[in-house]
Amino acid sequence: MTVTTSDAQTLKNALRSGVKTWHTLSFSTMDEAVNFINLDPPQQAGEVCFSFSPNGRIELMYFL
């Protein structure tokens, strides 16, 4: 799923639940990905990883 900066907080709030699971999002820039993982609640050590996709986007995997 590709997410815009303006939709990031809404999406993160919607995904919060009592049980944490892994999710994947695609961002245009590393700054957008970093901003997302620092939104409340910020991801902790071991709860996020990223990869550069062949199309130039940032693929972010996070535990929430």
pLDDT at position 53, please? 96
Q: Structurally, how many domains does the chain consist of?
A: 1
Domain of 26? 5-63
Q: Worst-scoring range by mean pLDDT, 17-21, 24-28, 31-35?
A: 17-21
Give the global pTM: 0.74
The pLDDT confidence band at residue 56, using thresholds 50, 70 and 90, is very high
Three-state SS annotation for the chain:
CECCHHHHHHHHHHHCCCCCCEEEEEECCHHHHHHHHHCCCCCCCCCEEEEECCCCCEEEEEEC
